[in-house]
Structure 1
Amino acid sequence: MDTDDRAGRPGSDRDDLRQQVLDLVAPLTTRFSAGGGRLRLGFNTAHYDQAASELEAFARPLWGLAPLAAGGGAFDHWDLWRAGLAAGTDPEHPDYWGAAFDRNQRLVETAAIGLALALVPEQVWDPLTGPQRDTVAAWLRHAVTVEPNDNNWLFFPVMVGLGLDRVGVAHDRDANTARLDRLEEFDLGRGWYTDGPKWQRDYYIPFAMHYYGLIYAALGDDQARAGRFRERAAAFAHDFQHWFTSEGVAVPFGRSLTYRFAQSAFWGALAFAGVEALPWEVTKGHLLRNLRWWGRQPIRDTAGLLTIGYGYPQPHLAEQYNAPGSPYWAMKAFLPLALPAEHPFWAAKEADAPPLPEVSTQPEAGVALLRCEEGRHVVLLSAGQHAPWMRHGAAKYAKFAYSTRFGFSVPAGTLGLEQGAFDSTLALSEDGEHWRPCELPYDVSASDGVLHSHWAPWDDVEIETWLVALPPWHVRVHRIRTGRALRTAEGAFAVDRDLPPARVDTGPGRARLDSPNGLCLIEDLSGGREGVLVTALPGTNVFAPRTTIPTLTGELPPGEHLLACAVIGLEATEGGEWPAPPTWDAVEPLLGT
């Protein structure tokens, strides 16, 4: 797409992003409580209480509103947020949010308030009365003293500190220094962090660890630390660009997908901190293409509110910490609005996505990314990630492949393949009804497009899995040692079934589907399995409400077995020969066994 084609398109430049902020916030302005301290968007089913939920809805729009105002953008309803800030922090007011306490959701939401104080005190602090400032300052100073979770949460009191510094309120700076020191211990090298001691390496690295670090780099006073944050972000950018298609679609993977376009917030944070990791026109393109894509998705309800879900309203996808206001963390993507129009990021002409290698192996995250169909389709192969503490953690982390075209599916139950929605994984069963997929992989390695891991669905069943990137195909190999008889089901991608397929082909060693919504094949390379098409229950896939999953099924007696298959997913085709998979002879030397 050339520059002329981009001119005038929604989301093409700074004024469009300003309007997006206003459009997203407009439906919120009529939903404040009578006292102003609560923003009520719907029924809260998150694990935290109603007051914290309504604080969340109040605070998260500030991620977009504060940069908007800092860059000179007009907003007519600052009085609502000022009144709410005064009421919510006042213990004598009916709308009081309650004090933050250790590892409590209130601490999460203080970060957006801290950013607003740091960027636009003239909007949220200066107009307050002296007593109102006192209550706001006391509430925030207390929040800085509570214990965060040992992960990206450590940045929340740091963000509050930046805001308090800007308005001249003293706080415990030594405590924040210790938190920053701890955060730097999560550095893995090559720009990667881990989000605390756990194994998750997902979008929390760009939209939390790097995002807050870059805000600190721009606003904090420790220049040596700021330099390290900038250097790591610059290195990370080279890996992270592989997570997006040439059309701006990011790979759906991991938790908190309901934050949607927060996934591209990293690109704007680079600009905010002055980090030209990639040419400005390239960085700008990564952000704007993703925002434009999201602008075409049905992610808002009839009142204009952001919904819980990913590609469509899908409460079934939610984590236990998703309340009605949670999706507004997407507003993080608007941080570069704080920059003046003449900043190089805004002055640059948006560039098309740069050509990238077909395979990018990223061992820090245990992933390999395949660029297929000239970059219009990205497949992420994953090994080693798991999140047993989270709703649908196995589906969000431990599937073998995640696709920008076909998404992934979460289970709707435990009985049968239709409920399990086992796309991109191997599921095992003793009775053909209750199935166990890969959930807790361990002993992971990733090198040159080959991922290797182990997992054990039962005490007497050990599985060794290799994932091999051979774009546009990927190959899965499993060495299974089992002390019990098992049934197996291995799914390819889940294909939208709302349009009827042009052709299907199932039988010994194959399950093939070619429809207007995509072509998907799974081909058995080791023999012995039967191909079927599984009709998954509705509402399981993150992109398409109704899907069909090409699947290989088989049976294994006790003993040692080798299963291998090749999987491909492409745009819809117009007939012709089915694509030919890689041969086992071509794959076996790559395994290193």
Structure 2
Amino acid sequence: MSQKRNPPTQGLLLPYSSVHPFSLIPLSSRSSVQSLLKSLLDPLQPFFSPLKSRIRIPGATAVRFDQTASEVEGICRPLWGLACLLAGGGSYHGTELWIEGIKNGVDPDGPEFWSYPLDNDQRMVEMCPLGFALAVVPGIWEGIGEKGRRDLENWLGNSINEKNMPNTNWLWFRVFANLGLKKNGGKFSQERLDADIEHLETFYRGDGWSNDGPEGIHQMDYYSSSFAIHFLQLVYSNLAGKDEPARAAEFKKRAQMAALDLAHYYDEQGRSIPFGRSVGYRFAMVSFWGALAYADVELPAPLTWGMVKGIVLRHLRWWQTQHDMWSPSGTLTVGYSYPNMYMAENYNSPGSPYWACLAFICLAVPETHPFWTSKEEDHWSVIPRVKALKQPGHIMSNLGGHCMLLSSGQACSYPMKGTHAKYGCFAYSSAYAYSVPPGLFTLEQYALASQLGLSDDGGEYWKTRRLSTSAMEEREGSPVLVSIWAPFVDVQIKTYLIPPKEETPNWHLRVHHILAGREVMTADGSFAICNEREEDGRYLGLYDAAKGEGTQPKLIGNYDLLTPEAWAPGRRGAFAVSKKAGAVGIRALEDGAAGGKERMANLVNADPNSNLVESRTTIPTLQGTIKKGEKVWYVTAVYAKPPPANGKKGARKDLDGWDKLPEIPKWLKDEISKSSGSGSKL
């Protein structure tokens, strides 16, 4: 069906070098966060369909579902923010557009009917914000009229209750569809609501954490906390707690436990650690913290409401500095810090990023709540700098100027695009985001930041860690992550991940014991870093100590990799220093690989747009070759030192820890020694 649409020239149309209104709002009070939300909603208005039931957000990209569902995303996802604003007593001049759009969207005889969902239909996801909005904003149910209410009951309740759904966090979406109807006296299924929650309980693993799926899946990312499960448990506790006090108390108890873990994902500057899928939802990463206040959870010691408020507002302020995430019309783009389809999942439509509006659950919190009345505080003054998280299989660290997680190697339940980068990296950082492959030919396209790649064809195609078995161990009083994985059927790898120590805060260790049943090339990458000179924006040159910028050895580019000055001995290593991003590097600590062959270090000039935050990056990398039948120990030290949080450029010492190498632990030396000459099993 062809529809006449408002011309996009009525949008915001940001001119060159202008700043989005989102970035111009000083954040401190509840009213300032209300204004921040409105700066997100305003640019959507020119893109409503004639009957207001859909929003076609700029960006003609296809997804795995139909165009109508994509445009239903466009109108429903912003409801997370609008409903929270209205529920908290705020107002918005465009509210009637959404009410009119809902009425016309559910009208089966109307020209803009959303259509009933099929099994596993994307429309089911968008029923969740609609159900929430119905539950907290009575004006919607009243405003759509008697016929609209009957149509909504059929579209929202009857259709979803009869269909199959993915065995994931999606089940919560059906819960909220029924809850929204229940709150307004509409037709709903209590039996289906209860059955879905009972099944969702099987996802719970302990210590406050739930998997995004049933037993056998190890996937605990932001869906386990802010994007879906914990967030919706807490919202449900508020809305249904009086009727189900025991269930509400259990959900709050889990949130208390998880809060002490999740606090480790946000650094002092407000950055969260990008990890897993759907990070294009951006500031939704902090919605868990606003939901704590919405559910009026009693915070676990030593956290305070001032600390929770600080996590949320610092995070939003950091996103205010990301000026490239907007379209010229002022709408959010698919991407992270800039538009990026390489990192997108096949379900990311132009409307998809507006799941970010979950972050505004804090606006539904009364202004008298201590979340709003408390002074902002820094939670890092009271929580440990290194902590092992049993359930997600992470070792968290905040030493050396950034938050970092060492990962056991989770895996999405299906092999989505870039899944090895989103879950299989060894380390994820709040200062150095992960990279995804924009192509699948040579290291430049694979962009193996914080990954070990192996190639058996001379370096054209590379395989990395995706599926693994893992364990959290304690060695000499410190946590260590151990994972076993096989990039090829006859190549076995046992990887140890060892967090930084106070005396060498900028280094962590990755140790790989490799048994090669075929000849393989190896490439062990550090974090990716901005590859732009401050003075002219060109690629980094050879390191200049006076300027405090550059690489060692020389960054040659993609086409002259045999140039001698592009390589250095592995023990000398490779590093890159950027005025914008600090320094990263990598060094080999082993005495030599099999046959006494030392790995060599170079700078991989990653293809543009592979990194989530920096569009041009380089990756210091160690490379080597293992012959068929050889057993090799690689001991890799990875350096990372972001610039100071105050932004001062003078007296920077980005490399002052580069020559202070971390010690190889005695237990590891003993393990290496014992394995010499032993059998082939790890």
TM-score range (shorter-chain normalised) is over 0.9
Aligned twin of 2:483: 453
Q: Report the CA distance shift for 1:467/1:172 in structure 2 as closer, same or farther (over 3 A).
A: same
Q: Please list, as runs of the form range in 1=range in 2, the aligned pairs for 1:417-566 lying within 5 A after superposition.
A: 417-447=443-473, 448-470=478-500, 471-499=505-533, 500=540, 501=543, 502-506=549-553, 507-509=568-570, 510-516=573-579, 517-526=581-590, 527=592, 528-558=598-628, 559-566=630-637
Secondary structure of residue in 2 paired with 1:294:
helix
Cα separation, 1, equivalents of 2:170 and 2:254? 19
Q: What is the aligned counterpart of 2:231 among 211, 214, 230? A: 211
> Which has the larger Rg?
2
Q: What is the aligned counterpart of 2:37 among 18, 21, 35? A: 21
Contact kept in structure 1, 2:210 and 2:229, CA below 8 Å: yes
Contact kept in structure 1, 2:73 and 2:351, CA below 8 Å: yes
Tell me, yes or no, if structure 1 residue 135 matches structure 2 residue 135.
Answer: no
> Is 138-147 or 82-91 further displaced after alignment?
138-147
Contact kept in structure 2, 1:436 and 1:457, CA below 8 Å: no
Secondary structure of residue in 2 paired with 1:141:
helix
Tell me, yes or no, if structure 1 residue 579 matches structure 2 residue 628.
Answer: no
Which whole-Å deviations, capped at 9, do the CAs of 1:273-297 have from their partners, x for residues lacking one? 0013231111111111111111111
Letter paired with 2:582: G
Q: Report the CA distance shift for 1:591/1:20 in structure 2 as closer, same or farther (over 3 A).
A: farther
Letter paired with 1:505: Q
Q: Report the CA distance shift for 1:394/1:138 in structure 2 as closer, same or farther (over 3 A).
A: same
Secondary structure of residue in 1 paired with 2:661:
coil
Tell me, yes or no, if structure 1 residue 161 matches structure 2 residue 178.
Answer: yes
Aligned twin of 2:343: 317
Cα separation, 1, equivalents of 2:188 and 2:333? 37
Contact kept in structure 2, 1:44 and 1:53, CA below 8 Å: no
Contact kept in structure 2, 1:416 and 1:432, CA below 8 Å: no
Cα separation, 1, equivalents of 2:403 and 2:665? 26
Which whole-Å deviations, capped at 9, do the CAs of 1:420-474 have from their partners, x for residues lacking one? 1111111111222333332323221123431101111111111111111124311
Cα separation, 1, equivalents of 2:61 and 2:459? 34
Q: CA RMSD of the aligned region, Å?
A: 1.7
Following superposition, the deviation at residue 148 of structure 1 comes to 2.0
Which whole-Å deviations, capped at 9, do the CAs of 1:139-176 have from their partners, x for residues lacking one? 11122332221111111111112211121013110111
Q: What is the aligned counterpart of 1:41 among 42, 45, 57? A: 57
Following superposition, the deviation at residue 70 of structure 1 comes to 1.1
Tell me, yes or no, if structure 1 residue 148 matches structure 2 residue 228.
Answer: no
Cα separation, 2, equivalents of 1:214 and 1:144? 23
Q: Report the CA distance shift for 1:138/1:358 in structure 2 as closer, same or farther (over 3 A).
A: same
Following superposition, the deviation at residue 583 of structure 1 comes to 2.7
Cα separation, 2, equivalents of 1:258 and 1:504? 31
Aligned twin of 1:5: none
Secondary structure of residue in 1 paired with 2:142:
coil
Contact kept in structure 2, 1:407 and 1:542, CA below 8 Å: yes
> Is 570-579 or 229-238 further displaced after alignment?
570-579
Q: What is the aligned counterpart of 1:363 among 369, 376, 390? A: 390
Letter paired with 1:214: L
Aligned twin of 1:249: 271
Aligned twin of 1:4: none
Contact kept in structure 1, 2:342 and 2:437, CA below 8 Å: no
Aligned length: 583
| Same amino acid, percent of matched pairs | 40
Contact kept in structure 1, 2:451 and 2:526, CA below 8 Å: yes
Following superposition, the deviation at residue 586 of structure 1 comes to 4.8
Cα separation, 2, equivalents of 1:322 and 1:494? 24
Cα separation, 2, equivalents of 1:314 and 1:590? 46
Q: What is the aligned counterpart of 2:379 among 346, 353, 365? A: 353
Tell me, yes or no, if structure 1 residue 226 matches structure 2 residue 240.
Answer: no
Aligned twin of 1:408: 434
Following superposition, the deviation at residue 414 of structure 1 comes to 1.7
Contact kept in structure 1, 2:449 and 2:619, CA below 8 Å: yes
Which whole-Å deviations, capped at 9, do the CAs of 1:532-568 have from their partners, x for residues lacking one? 0110010000110001110001111122111111101
Which whole-Å deviations, capped at 9, do the CAs of 1:213-240 have from their partners, x for residues lacking one? 0011001121111111000011100000
**TM-score normalised by structure 1 residue count:** 0.95
Cα separation, 2, equivalents of 1:44 and 1:138? 30
Contact kept in structure 2, 1:144 and 1:160, CA below 8 Å: no
Letter paired with 2:438: A
Q: Please list, as runs of the form range in 1=range in 2, the aligned pairs for 1:278-357 lying within 5 A after superposition.
A: 278-298=303-323, 299-355=325-381, 356-357=383-384
Secondary structure of residue in 2 paired with 1:185:
helix
Gap runs ≥5 in structure 2: 1-23, 534-539, 544-548, 554-567, 593-597, 644-651, 675-682
Letter paired with 2:437: P
